[in-house]
Amino acid sequence: MDREQLCAEMPACSFSFDVILENPMELFRVTVEVLDINDNSPVFPKRDIGLEISELAVPGARFSIESAVDQDVGENALQKYILNPTDHFNLNIQGRIDDSKHIEMVLQKPLDREKTKHHYLTLTAVDGGDPQRSGTVQIHIVVLDVNDNAPAFSQATYKAFVPENAAKGTLITTVSATDADDGSSVIIEYYFEHATKSIQELFTIDPISGEVRVVGDIDYEKNKQFQIKVKAKDHGGLTDSCGIVIDVIDINDNIPKITVMSFYSALPEDSVPGTIIAMINIQDFDSAENAKVTCSIHNNLPFKMESSLSNYYNLVTESVLDREQTAEYNITITAVDGGSPPLSSKKTLSLKISDVNDHSPQFQQESYDAYVFENNVPSRSFFSVRATDADRGPNARVSYFLEDGSLNGAPLSAYLTVNSDSGVLYAVKPFDYEQIKSFKINVKAQDGGSPPLSGNVTINIFIKDENDNVPQVLYPVQTSGSLVAEIVPRSADVGYLVTKVVAVDVDSGQNAWLSYKLQKASDRALFEVGLQNGEIRTIRQVTDKDAVKQKLTVVVADNGQPSRSATVNVNVVVADSFPEVLSDFTDFTVDREYDINLTFYLVLALAVVSVLFIFSIIAIVTVKIFRWRQNRLFYKSAANLPVIPFYPPVYPDGTLGTLQRVYNYEQNPPNNDWRLNQQVQRPGPSGTYRYSTITQQRWTPYGKARAGPHPAGAGGVVAGTGPWPTPPTEAEQIQALMAAANEVSEATATLDPRYNAQFPMQHVPDYRQNVYIPGSTATLTANPQQMMPQQALQGPPQAMPQVDVPNAAQTPASKKKSTKKDKK
């Protein structure tokens, strides 16, 4: 509370209000007195005051100063003034009609303009509060040469009256002052001294004529009296002041105000006569007869008005009420004041008569369907129910309750609640469509009767799916422990299926419809992603210029609003062989956090592979040396065997066997001329190796030469004639041995079974078994269908036919091995 705002300058500040207690209904009047505290400092209307004083002014001349204003009252109000310095002037303070302090400066000794033209004084206003507050103003005195007499008002106080709501420009009074001087000093100017803002908004004074007129709207209810200070000043700087007291005359311009302090809008029909229905306060802000108010209601109603305290009336029942006859009354209260002409106001009260509780609450439907989105905000409403009761008052006041039940082992109150007054359903916590899709609850509506009546309704609650799950990529798997890449051969055509991104979304409906889009790619012109199926295919022919390493980033997005998405990185290697893939596969750039582990495992794998490779090379070289020594021993033993002629069988039908020529296995010295027929195929890197033509070669006894045709396509000297050529290398020996073993195996496989029974052959070892061919990654193995059990020869042993084998293409590995052997 602000005392200064409530009571302005009034020393005593208080206000009253009324308190009404109900059941039983009583009325009390409370008066509050507001005590002032020192919360305002004295304030001068101006910071600087200028005075012009003639040097002819005699000691004792008085000069009025605008006083300071302190809005506090009592001890906290303005108490004293202090003037500094006091060598020429002193203060003279005397009471005025407004009981405020009037300040006058009294000249103590004559002024001498020739010595001092200007005097500067400081006036301090101090209040009596604790702590004290003060305000200062600077006084500038200009010493003039002439002006002996000050203006003088005809009256010290002017009294005036003005009706409220007076028209603007209305003349209130005229002030007048005279000056005994002549000349320019006789001209007097009038102005308000220390006028408040409200006075300046309501009144004005003519500076020449001294007429005071109305310039604002005057309201008696706000201000009943105004006190204004007027100051007159001549051109010599001498002044005089007076006061104007303006009393405001009240007119009947306020209608009575009806305020319902308490009202029972619903009254039981069994209420006894004299029951208070309402307590009413009537106020009129006018005064005297204009404020006298009479209150009444219409006739023919079972109610009456009874006066209680001043300006208070009670509306009471006058007879027994019957709701079956009248369920509602509209009571009009009329208040009339005593003004001329009188003013009145009306207030209508609607009173309902309640009955006994004989109706239960009823819902509009037997069941309701409610829908709520998952991930709903807790404590937010999503549905409401409403039941109506035909009763009135408390009997019709319906309250809503959630009947006991459980959902997933938890009570229903853990999932939702209902507002007991409005029937609005609120979710206690968010729902999850993936866990709960629908459930049922029962809501009970109960009235406020005694005993209460109730009704039930079933609500089917359906959870609606929301796009709250991002797509989950099932393939390719993104792991930190290893790097997976898809291989695309360089011969891949347009539309080659590289891989397929597989993703799922646990949402439903369109929230689970997934689409795939290529976000980033090392070469966008090479790959595309199927929008619906996630298949990554080539969109052009792969060329040798394409980079081996290709990294694709695929975005998997659902069809929800807003859409959610996930990204997956697909590594693609463009290569034709696994070694090429392996060499480039390790160069893929992966996430930095996986580099340390990946490097460790790669180094470990490389070390293990290197050790295994070294042991494999040692084992293979050892086996090759062992077999080469066995071959040398075999040829040396075969040189001492006798020559046994061999004839193909003749069958009864006159046909010969498969071999159409006679093979004469003769003993020959080792022939170092390893040549094959041009039709003999070179062994390839893998698979079963067959030779299309069997080379025919006749052998002559050691030291003899026999003429004979060369084998078809064979060149050079016939075996057994001419000098010995340079000894074959290890690789050449193995190639020749394998070719001979293939020929013998194929030849014997085509013989007739009767021929084999008549002339069983000695089993020739299959030298193709587990033979490592230098320069190739394959190891030849024997054909199990061509292997025969070893049988004893019928007669002298036969020499294995010799076949010319062309020089095998030497690889760098075979060249190195041959060189090392030659050195040995």
pLDDT digits (tens, 9 = 90+) for 176-213: 998 876 666 678 899 998 888 889 999 999 999 999 99
Q: What is the dihedral of CA 755, 757, 759, 763, to 10 degrees?
A: 110
Does the pLDDT of residue 662 top 90, yes or no?
A: no
- The angle that helices 730-749 and 812-823 make with each other, rounded to 10 degrees, is 110
Report the distance separating Cα 460 and Cα 556, nearest Å. Answer: 36
Backbone angles phi, psi at 704, to 5 degrees: -110, 155
The answer to whether the beta carbons of residues 275 and 354 sit under 8 Å apart is no
Lowest mean pLDDT among 203-207, 578-582, 762-766: 762-766
Token code pair at residue 439 = 């459930």
Q: What is the DSSP string of 496-549?
A: -EEEE-EEE-SS-GGGG-EEEEEEEES-TTTEEE-TTT-EEEESS---TTS-SE
Amino acid of residue 24: P
How would residue 9 be classed by pLDDT, with cut points 50, 70 and 90? confident
Instruction: Give the pair of three-digit tokens for residue 245.
Output: 């007291």
603 three-class SS: helix
Round the average pLDDT of the chain to a whole number and report it.
75
For residues 810-818, give the mean pLDDT: 39
Q: Tell me the C-alpha distance between 150 and 139, whole Å.
A: 19
Please give the pLDDT value at position 185: 61
Query: For the chain, how many residues are written?
Result: 824
Write the CA distances from 135 to 73, 80, 132, 195, 471, integer angstroms: 16, 11, 10, 18, 77
Range in 609-618, 730-739, 780-789 the model is least confident about: 780-789
Q: How many helices (H) and strands (E) does the chain have?
A: 7, 50
pLDDT at residue 651 is higher than 50: no
In the chain, % of residues over pLDDT 90: 27
Highest mean pLDDT among 71-75, 497-501, 801-805: 497-501
What angle separates helix 730-749 from helix 595-638, to the nearest 10 degrees? 70
Say which residue the tokens 């404020």 belong to: 291
CA distance 11 to 35: 10
CB 295 within 8 A of CB 280: yes
371 near 462, Cβ under 8 Å?
Answer: yes
Q: Which pLDDT score, from 0 to 100, does residue 174 have?
A: 94
pLDDT for res 689: 34
What is the model's pTM? 0.35
DSSP code of 196? -
> Tens of pLDDT along 401-437?
999 888 888 898 888 999 999 999 999 988 888 888 8
Alpha helices for 181-224 (secondary structure H): 197-202
Average pLDDT for 727-742: 51
Q: Which residue has the higher pLDDT, 550 or 783?
A: 550
Tokens of 755: 């021929």
- Residue the block writes with tokens 């042993």: 797
Token pair listed for 95: 């009471």
Rounded to an integer, what distance in angstroms lies between the CA atom of residue 795 and that of residue 94?
172
Predicted local distance difference test score (pLDDT) of residue 579: 65
Low-confidence winner among 35-49, 270-284, 289-303, 730-744 (lowest mean pLDDT) = 730-744
On the question of pLDDT at 792 being above 60, the answer is no
Say how many C-beta atoms besides its own lie within 10 A of residue 365's C-beta. 10
The single-letter code of the amino acid at 304 is K
Mean pLDDT of 723-738: 48
> Of 186, 122, 125, whose CA–CA distance to 151 is shortest?
186
